[in-house]
Amino acid sequence: MIPVLPYTAEVLDSLLARYNAAIVPLPAAAVLVSVAILGHAARPVREGDRMASLFLAAAWAWVGIVFHLRYAATIDFMAPLYGGFFIAQAVLLLWTGVWRKQLVYRVGDHTAGRIGCGLAVLAIAGYPLLGLLAGHDWTSLPWVGAAPDPTALLTLGLLLTARPVRPHLLVVPVMWSLVAGMTALSLDTPERLVLPAAAILAVVVAERIRRTPTP
Amino acid sequence: MTRRIPHPDRRTVLASLAATAGLGTVPLRAADAPPLTRPIPATGERVPVVGMGTWITFNVGDDQGLRDRRLEVLRTFFELGGRVVDSSPMYGTAEDVIGYCLSRLPADVPLFSATKVWTWWQNNGPEQMAESRRLWGVERFDAMQIHNLLNWEGHLETLLADKQAGRVRLIGITTSHGSRHAEMERIMASRPVDLVQFTYNIVDREAERRLLPLAAERGLGVIVNRPFRQKQLFEMFARHKLPGWAGEIGCANWAQFFLKFVISHPAVTCAIPATSRVDHMRENMGALHGPLPDPAMRKRMVDYVENL
């Protein structure tokens, strides 16, 4: 059974448009940083891994606090709960990637890395483009680092490039993907199904990596 | 009828609205024929049998264009004889949007205000209800209902004290989607509530078995939510032709067919369909007029949709 959301797609678009307008130029900056992180994963730079984790943590915290708690909470009684999970993910990323330095992002010469890189590109450019093709106004497009769906998608992609796999960091993005999938079905916005599809792919790939014996 | 707190900028707002094409140009007037009404047993006050819900439809955030469109929906509702408006703090910005609309309508619209208290904690109830009054711009609510029976024992204690003090006129309890009927039945049978709200429509008729007869027996007002099962009934049946005999009960469209089935149950006080469109509001309010189906016709209506 598809859950009924307390708002319509039209209202969500309106909220995203007001949110995007209010946080300019943050989405553009977040896109540039995301591209730089992908560049680092391909050709590593010093301290790049910690900086990438710091950016991801900041993005999750921003989306949790500003998008969910400040904006989405006005139309969705579930948003405070989502906000809490996003903040928790930010803390996990800080702890694992910045404090303990356990996240090393490398595209490398392996399938998982390439898939991860593909998901990251999808998050940065493909996801907003899909929204545009689906008929959403450009002002209401979801941008990586600012909106929950592409942020979760970027995180899933980058985590696939990291070794070893850190399953605990996949939990919240995968949970959000389920929410995004239900939102897509409830609001009849099939373009948002990209995220749950990507999450399934990420979980399958991560599990294969985990089961593959290291030489 | 709800006493509204005068909006400080009403005159200015109405003057500017009147100058705006499409807004304020339609005078408020009663429908030509008096609408069908039913008494609320606790007070004897009669209310029109079609009210308005606000779940999803009035949760439009700060979007000015959408707010103004809802203003026209509410204006049409009152123009066509509506009174009962139902909402909840759970519905996002719906209460805020209702207040926005009411502040732009004449102060004497015959509003019957019904909202809910929706919090786990009894201590938060008074604060939440005060916030609802502020958002709607009313001094007190005609009906305050305990949403989905959430902490109903605690909130009922608060509401009984509020009723004694004149802060609320009627106390209600709600559920929806056919859930928790047994618990609702227990409360209806044993506690001093005035109104109950639950789901009832031509497909979901579980309430006919126990809740509706018990409400009649106990003298409780009944507000029916989801009379269209959100919009599923239209998706299920609207592609089919309305039966020729629908005209006998004054139904010109499926909305009126579904609504007349609900409001013709003798225990029902009013149904609260929600809509975001003026044309749909006009269709809904058409059910306020003409004959109501008798038991034989009600059975015919059920048989018809079950065989589609």
Chain centroid to Cα B110, Å, comes to 14
Number of domains in chain B: 1
pLDDT for B11 equals 34
How far is A73 from chain B, CA to nearest CA, in Å? 8
- Residue B3 confidence class, pLDDT cut points 50, 70, 90: low
In angstroms, rounded to a whole number, what is the distance separating the alpha carbons of residues B29 and B80?
A: 8
CA atoms within 13 A on the CB side of B57: 26
| Secondary structure percentages of chain B, helix, strand, coil, to 5 | 45, 15, 45
Which chain A residues are within 8 Å of B59, Cβ to Cβ?
Answer: 6-7, 11, 75
In angstroms, rounded to a whole number, what is the distance separating the alpha carbons of residues A194 and A181?
A: 8
Q: Do A14 and B230 touch (CB under 8 A)?
A: no
Name the percent of chain B lying above pLDDT 70.
90
Cross-strand bridge partners of residue B143: B114, B170
Tokens for B26, please give them. Answer: 């339609």
How far is B44 from chain A, CA to nearest CA, in Å? 34
Radius of gyration of chain B (CA): 19
Tokens for B238, please give them. Answer: 């609207």
How far is A84 from chain B, CA to nearest CA, in Å? 18
Domain that holds residue B52: 45-306
Q: Do A75 and B61 touch (CB under 8 A)?
A: yes
The per-residue pLDDT for range B155-214, each reduced to its tens digit, is: 999 999 999 999 999 999 999 988 899 999 999 999 999 999 999 999 999 999 999 999
Residue B113 lies in a domain: yes
The per-residue pLDDT for range B13-54, each reduced to its tens digit, is: 333 433 333 333 333 444 467 899 999 999 999 999 999 999
- Facing residue for B93 by CB, picked from A4, A18, A75: A75
pLDDT for A215 equals 56
Residue B9 has pLDDT above 50, yes or no: no
Q: With helix as H, strand as E and coil as C, how does B116-178 read?
A: EECCCCHHHHHHHHHHHHHHHCECCEEEEEEHHHCCHHHHHHHHHHHHHCCCEEEEEEECCCC
Residue B12 has pLDDT above 60, yes or no: no
pLDDT for B6 equals 58
Q: Do A11 and B62 touch (CB under 8 A)?
A: no
User: Is B60 part of the contact surface with chain A (CB cutoff 8 Å)?
Assistant: yes
pLDDT for A212 equals 79
Helix (H) or strand (E) holding B225: strand B221-225
Radius of gyration of chain A (CA): 16
Mutate to test the interface with A, among B55, B60, B229 (most CBs of A within 10 A): B60
pLDDT for B28 equals 40
Mean pLDDT per 10-residue interval, chain A, length 215 residues = 86 97 96 94 89 96 98 97 98 96 88 94 96 96 97 96 90 97 95 96 91 70
User: Is B119 part of the contact surface with chain A (CB cutoff 8 Å)?
Assistant: no
Residue B24 lies in a domain: no
Cross-strand bridge partners of residue B221: B195
In angstroms, rounded to a whole number, what is the distance separating the alpha carbons of residues A63 and A73?
A: 12
The per-residue pLDDT for range B77-88, each reduced to its tens digit, is: 999 999 999 999
pLDDT for A1 equals 64
Q: With helix as H, strand as E and coil as C, how does A79-127 read?
A: HHHHHHHHHHHHHHHHHHHHHCCCCCECCCCCHHHHHHHHHHHHHHHHH
For the domain that residue B75 is a member of, what is the CATH number? 3.20.20.100
In angstroms, rounded to a whole number, what is the distance separating the alpha carbons of residues A20 and A138?
A: 10
Which chain B residues are within 8 Å of A21, Cβ to Cβ?
Answer: none
How much is the mean pLDDT over chain B?
A: 91
pLDDT for A214 equals 63
The ranges assigned to domains in chain A are 29-208
How far is B155 from chain A, CA to nearest CA, in Å? 20
User: Is A7 part of the contact surface with chain B (CB cutoff 8 Å)?
Assistant: yes
Residue B37 lies in a domain: no
Measure the CA dihedral B3/B4/B8/B14, to 10°: -120
How far is A76 from chain B, CA to nearest CA, in Å? 6
User: Is B201 part of the contact surface with chain A (CB cutoff 8 Å)?
Assistant: no
- Facing residue for A8 by CB, picked from B56, B62, B91: B56
Which chain B residues are within 8 Å of A6, Cβ to Cβ?
Answer: 55-56, 59, 90-92
Q: Do B59 and A7 touch (CB under 8 A)?
A: yes
Contact B1, B137 (CB under 8 A): no
ipTM: 0.89
Residue in chain B lying closest to A11 (CA): B60
Residue B89 has pLDDT above 60, yes or no: yes
The per-residue pLDDT for range B105-131, each reduced to its tens digit, is: 999 999 999 999 999 999 999 999 999
Contact B224, B195 (CB under 8 A): no
**Is residue A173 reached through a cis peptide bond, with omega within 30 degrees of 0 on the bond before it?**
no
pLDDT for B23 equals 35
The per-residue pLDDT for range A115-171, each reduced to its tens digit, is: 999 999 999 999 999 999 999 999 999 999 999 999 999 999 999 999 888 999 999
Residue in chain A lying closest to B230 (CA): A4
Residue in chain A lying closest to B66 (CA): A11
Contact B99, B139 (CB under 8 A): no
Mutate to test the interface with B, among A16, A71, A74 (most CBs of B within 10 A): A74
Mutate to test the interface with B, among A4, A5, A11 (most CBs of B within 10 A): A11
Mutate to test the interface with B, among A1, A75, A186 (most CBs of B within 10 A): A75
Residue B243 lies in a domain: yes
Residue in chain A lying closest to B231 (CA): A4
User: Is B93 part of the contact surface with chain A (CB cutoff 8 Å)?
Assistant: yes
How far is A11 from chain B, CA to nearest CA, in Å? 6
pLDDT for B263 equals 98
Residue in chain B lying closest to A74 (CA): B92
